[in-house]
């Protein structure tokens, strides 16, 4: 898949583009409802001007910013864009507040441009929904990589935006503060895989995959190694 490409079948309502940002090549995703042309950025991790150029390119009217978790490369540009366009921020779960509060120091540590912390207008819980235009996405709390990590799932498009929970052939790190390997495996096996083998997912880094593919061959969470 090219780095800037559609992420949903034209036959379904959700449309989008994956836009890698920062030196970490984090997958920020622009999603929108083609009926209303209202949209959201999921994990605006940096390069705010570039992200807004892509929004303008598609003729999308941003109505909010969605955040899967509080790491710098996923949320570093959120405060800047929210302030510039007066947009609400939704997500992550409140257990990631300490990560968001620490973003200014993290930016210095990793040599990123200055990043500001923020307080979302809405912290998200497992079972919540978020809207983008006329679209409704389900929220799944999937701790492990961070304690407040959430995933956004659009059932009609069979598409999930999973942040750093799972990747093609890999899973998120759990050696950060308040990471938990057992929680991460449980999140993937009990909350993501039941969504269906056919569900495509956009990870925080790298190429897309499907839950079915990862159930078969992912060396960390495949059925053959899960021990359920």
With a cut of 70, say whether residue 196 has pLDDT above it. yes
pLDDT confidence band for 173 (50 / 70 / 90): very high
pLDDT reported for residue 13: 79
pLDDT reported for residue 227: 65
- pLDDT tens for residues 131-154? 999 999 999 999 999 999 999 999
Residue pair 148/70 in contact by the 8 Å Cβ criterion: yes
Buried b (16+ CB within 10 A) or exposed e, 112-121: beebbbbebe
Mean pLDDT, residues 52-59: 98
Mean pLDDT, residues 98-112: 96
Q: The whole model's pTM is what?
A: 0.94
With a cut of 70, say whether residue 91 has pLDDT above it. yes
Give the mean pLDDT of the chain.
94
With a cut of 80, say whether residue 76 has pLDDT above it. yes
How far apart CA 187 and CA 144 sit, in angstroms, is: 7
With a cut of 60, say whether residue 1 has pLDDT above it. no
Mean pLDDT, residues 166-174: 98
Degrees, nearest 5: CA angle 128-189-221: 140
How far apart CA 159 and CA 9 sit, in angstroms, is: 10
Residue pair 146/70 in contact by the 8 Å Cβ criterion: yes
pLDDT reported for residue 7: 56
User: Domain spans of the chain?
Assistant: 15-226
How far apart CA 171 and CA 188 sit, in angstroms, is: 9
Residue 74 backbone dihedrals phi, psi, to 5 degrees: -105, -15
Residue pair 107/140 in contact by the 8 Å Cβ criterion: no
Burial class (CB in 10 A: 0-12, 13-18, 19+), 198: exposed
pLDDT reported for residue 11: 40
Q: How many Cβ atoms sit within 10 Å of the Cβ of residue 74?
A: 32
With a cut of 70, say whether residue 221 has pLDDT above it. yes
What are the Cα distances from residue 58, in Å, to 61, 72, 137, 198?
A: 9, 26, 21, 27
With a cut of 60, say whether residue 9 has pLDDT above it. no
The correct CATH number of 15-226 out of 3.60.15.10, 3.50.50.60, 2.30.40.10, 3.30.70.360 is 3.60.15.10
């Amino acid at each position: 898949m090219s780095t800037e490409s559609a992420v949903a079948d034209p036959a379904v309502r959700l449309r989008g583009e994956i836009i890698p940002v920062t030196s970490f090549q984090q997958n920020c995703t622009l999603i929108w409802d083609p009926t209303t042309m209202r949209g959201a950025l999921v994990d605006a991790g940096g390069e705010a001007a570039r992200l807004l150029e892509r929004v303008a390119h598609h003729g999308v009217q941003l109505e909010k910013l969605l955040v899967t978790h509080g790491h710098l490369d996923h949320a570093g540009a959120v405060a800047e864009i929210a302030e510039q366009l007066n947009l609400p921020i939704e997500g992550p779960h409140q257990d990631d507040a300490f990560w968001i509060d620490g973003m200014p120091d993290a930016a210095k540590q990793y040599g990123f441009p200055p990043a500001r912390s923020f307080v979302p207008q809405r912290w998200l819980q497992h079972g919540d929904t978020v809207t983008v235009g006329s679209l409704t996405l389900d929220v799944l709390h999937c701790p492990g990589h961070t304690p407040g990590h959430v995933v956004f799932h659009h059932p009609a498009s069979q598409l999930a935006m999973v942040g750093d929970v799972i990747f093609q052939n890999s899973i998120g790190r759990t050696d950060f503060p308040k990471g938990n390997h057992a929680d991460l495996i449980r999140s993937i096996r009990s909350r993501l895989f039941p969504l269906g083998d056919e569900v495509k997912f956009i990870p925080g880094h790298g190429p897309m995959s499907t839950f079915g593919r990862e159930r078969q061959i992912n060396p960390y969470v495949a059925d053959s190694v899960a021990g359920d």
